[in-house]
Amino acid sequence: MPKPHLALLAALAAAGVIARCSGLIDPYYLDVLTIIGINVILAVSLNLVNGYTGQFSLGHAGFMSVGAYLSAAVSLFLGPRLLGPDPSALGQGLFFLGALLAGGLAAAAAGWVVGIPSLRLRGDYLAIVTLAFGEIIRVVFQNVDALGGALGLNGIPPYTTIFWVLAFAALTIFTVTCLVHSTYGRGFLAVHDDEIAAAAVGLNPTRYKIVAFVVSAFFAGIAGGLYGHFRLTITPAGFDFTKSIEIVVMVILGGMGNTPGVILAAILLTLLPELLRPVAEYRMIIYSLLLIVLMILRPQGLFSLKLGRRKPAGD
């Protein structure tokens, strides 16, 4: 069995063990661990687009919201009918898995719809268009009364457990790593390095960008589903531009196209606000200063060890 698959199995087993012992862990730490897991999924999936493929998406929270809303709607509206009054643990688990996947697929579909027109654009324009789509998705959710309008959805069943979060975090890391290191996946790096050269050797840059976008949106949707069943209430305002920025900061801080770095950054940026609760109002100021100072002094990210391995796509 190849190494990554073993690692995935080990991670899943570890998730199972931690879930078994979750009764022993302080609930506060368990909550923090859950948020870390969700943020790792978000950051690692965004890294596929913003890091490996070299595009700049500012709409990740939009895809997250699609997944959150759809999976929450599935549990709220279909759950009582499918599960009956007192469901078995297995039935409930399978149902939750189905709801998460439905949310992920819906987000992937949204990614596809958004990606096809916008990925013909580059750089700044792509950033703005993804931002615009993220905002449009939010406005639409605000106006759909069946999904609670501006108040959002409440009373979502608390299905998210530490097992699901860790398992999906492992699965996200596994998928992105394997994808990027596969023969096919080298195309992402080629598109990142030089789109014209990639097209000249017969790769289709637009198609690579769309694949990256769809995969990344799928995992954002899963993360959204986990988030909704963890917080038990979701509102359109919770998935605004600031949320997207937060994920982008994780990717940039960790180093674009550097999965271990991005994981570390996601953990760090989840813990920091917990530690810095007394100075919570400075959080966004710290984030923004970090962005500026990093770009000027260390554009390859905080946790990048292999300096100068790949030159940035210059222009």
Partner 1 sequence: MSEFFQQSLNGLSLGAIYALIALGYTMVYGVLRFINFAHADVFMVGAFLGYYLAKLVPAASLWGGLAVMAGAMVGCALLGILIERLAYRPLRRGPTLNVLITAIGVSLLLEYSGQLGFGAAPRTFPVLFPQRDLRIGGLVISSTQVLVIVVAAALLLALQGIVHRTRIGTAMRALSLNATAAQLVGINTDVVISFTFGLGSALAAAGGILYAMNYPSIDPLMGVMPGLKAFVAAVLGGIGNIPGAALGGLILGLVETFVAGSPWSTYKDAIAFGVLIVILLCRPAGLLGKFTVEKV
> How many other C-beta atoms can be found within 10 angstroms of the C-beta atom of residue 77?
11
Q: How far is the CB of 229 from partner 1 (least distance, A)?
A: 28
Contacts of partner 1 in 57-116 (CB under 8 A): none
Contact between 144 and partner 1 by CB under 8 A: the answer reads no
Among 56, 95, 227, 239, binds partner 1 (CB under 8 A): 56
Residues 111-140 that bind partner 1 (CB under 8 A): 117-118, 120-121, 123-125, 127-129, 131-133, 135-136, 139-140
Residue nearer to partner 1 on the CB measure, 163 or 303: 303
CA distance 199 to 134: 29
User: Whole-number minimum distance, CB 129 to partner 1, in Å?
Assistant: 6
Q: Helices in 232-258 by DSSP H: which ranges?
A: 241-254
Number of Cβ atoms within 10 Å of the Cβ of 149: 13
281 is a site residue for partner 1 (CB under 8 A): yes
Burial string for 9-37 (b: 16+ CB within 10 Å, else e) reads eebbeebeebbeeeeeeeeeebeebbbbb
- The CA distance from 43 to 177, in Å, is 13
By CB under 8 A, the count of residues binding partner 1 is 43
Are 212 and 53 in contact by the 8 Å Cβ rule? The answer is yes
Choose among 239, 94, 230: nearest CA to 156.
Answer: 230
Q: For partner 1, what does the binding mask look like between residues 148 and 187, x meaning CB under 8 A?
A: ----------------------------------------
Q: Tell me whether residue 80 or residue 299 sits nearer to partner 1 (CB atom).
A: 299
- From the list 290, 314, 313, the residue with the least C-alpha distance to 302 is 290
Q: Which stretch binds partner 1 (CB under 8 A): 40-48, 97-105, 177-185, 288-296?
A: 288-296
Binding-site member from 112, 163, 241, 303 for partner 1 (CB under 8 A): 241
Nearest Cα residue to 42 out of 184, 239, 306, 285:
239
User: Nearest distance from residue 203's CB to partner 1, in Å?
Assistant: 16
Shortest Å distance, C-beta 83 to partner 1? 35
What token pair was written down for 287? 């984030």
Q: Which letter does DSSP use for residue 234 in this model? A: B
Q: Which of residues 180-239 bind partner 1 (CB under 8 A)?
A: 196
User: What distance, in Å, lies between the first and last C-alpha atoms of the chain?
Assistant: 42
CB of 236 to partner 1, least distance (A): 12
User: Judged by CB under 8 A, does residue 289 bind partner 1?
Assistant: yes
Determine the Cα–Cα distance for residues 86 and 96; give it in Å rounded to an integer.
15
Give yes or no for residue 282 binding partner 1 (CB under 8 A).
yes
Chain positions contacting partner 1, by CB under 8 A? 54, 56, 117-118, 120-121, 123-125, 127-129, 131-133, 135-136, 139-140, 142-143, 196, 241, 245, 248, 252, 281-282, 284-285, 287-292, 295-296, 299, 312-315
